[in-house]
A and B are shown apart, each in its own frame.
Chain A
Amino acid sequence: MFSPWISPQNPFDAAALDLNAAFKPPAWLDGGDRAFLLGSDNQGRDILSTIMHGARISLGIGLASVAFAMVLGVTLGLLAGYVGGRLDAFIMRVADVQLSFPAILIALLIDGVARVALGGERHEEIVIPVLVLSIGFAGWVQYARTVRGSTMVEREKEYVQAARVIGRRPLAIMAAHVLPNVIGPVLVIATIHIATAIITEATLSFLGVGVPATQPSLGTLIRVGNEFLYSGEWWITVFPGVALVVLVISVNLLGDWLRDALNPKLR
Chain B
Amino acid sequence: MHLLSVDSVSRDFDVSSPWLNRVLEREPRRILRAVDHVSFEISKGETLALVGESGCGKSTVARLIAGLYAPTEGHIAFSGRRLQMIFQDPYASLNPRWRVRKIIAEPMLFLEEQKPVEQFLLQVGLSADDAERYPHEFSGGQRQRISIARALAGEPDLLICDEPTSALDVSVQAQILNLMADLQDRLGLTYLFISHNLAVVSLIADRVGVMYLGRIVELAPASRLFSSPRHPYTRMLLDAVPDLAMSGKSRTPVAGEVPNPLAPPSGCSFHPRCRYATARCQVEVPRFSDGVACHAVEEGRLPT
- Chain A residues proximal to chain B, CB less than 8 Å: 157-159, 161-168, 177, 180-181, 264-265
- In angstroms, Cα B109 to Cα A180, docked, is 19
Q: Are A162 and B87 in contact (CB under 8 A)?
A: yes
What separation, in Å, do the CA atoms of A159 and B102 have in the docked complex? 13
- Residues of A within 8 Å of B68, CB to CB, are 161, 164-165
User: A264 with B110: in contact, given A159-B92, A165-B66, A166-B154 (CB under 8 Å)?
Assistant: no
Query: Is A158 touching B96 in the complex (CB atoms < 8 A)?
Result: no
B95 touches A165 (CB 8 A): no
Residue of B nearest to A160 (CB): B95
Interface residues on chain B, number (Cβ under 8 Å):
27
Give Cα A165 to B66, complex, Å. 6
Whether B93 and A159, one on each chain, are in contact in the complex, defined by CB atoms closer than 8 angstroms, is: yes
Interface of A is mostly: helix
Q: Given that A158-B87, A158-B89, A166-B154 are known contacts, is A264 also in contact with B96, CB under 8 Å in the complex?
A: yes
Identity of the chain B residue whose Cβ is nearest the Cβ of A164 in the assembled complex = B68
Determine the distance from Cα of A180 to Cα of B150 in the docked complex, in whole angstroms: 20
B residues neighboring A (CB under 8 Å) = 63, 66-68, 83-85, 87-89, 92-98, 106-107, 109-110, 134, 136, 147, 150, 154, 160
- Cα of A168 to Cα of B87 in the assembled complex, Å: 17
Contacts of B84 in A (CB 8 A): 165-166
B106-A264 in contact (CB<8A): no
Contact sample, A vs B, 5 pairs, CB 8 Å cutoff: A165-B68, A165-B85, A166-B106, A265-B96, A265-B134
Q: Which of B68, B88, B97, B136 has the most CB of A within 10 A?
A: B97
Bound-state Cα–Cα, A164 to B66, Å: 9
Q: How far is the CB of A161 from chain B (nearest CB, A)?
A: 6
Task: Let me know if B97 and A157 touch, CB within 8 A.
Answer: no
- Contacts A158-B88, A158-B89, A264-B136 hold; do A165 and B83 have CB atoms under 8 A apart? yes
Rounded to whole angstroms, the CA-CA distance of A264 and B88 in the bound complex is 23
B85 pairs with A181, CB closer than 8 A: no
Whether A265 and B95, one on each chain, are in contact in the complex, defined by CB atoms closer than 8 angstroms, is no
- CB pair B83–A157 under 8 Å, yes or no, is no
Q: Chain B: which residue is nearest A179 at the CB level?
A: B97
Known: A165-B67, A166-B106. A264 touches B97 (CB 8 A): yes
Contacts of A177 in B (CB 8 A): 95
Complexed CA–CA distance, A159 and B107 (Å) = 13
Supplied contacts A162-B93, A165-B84, A168-B106, 10 more A-B pairs, CB within 8 Å:
A161-B68, A162-B85, A162-B147, A164-B67, A164-B68, A165-B160, A166-B106, A167-B107, A264-B96, A265-B134
Least Cβ–Cβ distance between B112 and chain A, in angstroms: 14
Residues B110 and A167 in contact, CB atoms below 8 Å apart: yes
Chain A residue contacts of B136, Cβ below 8 A: 264-265
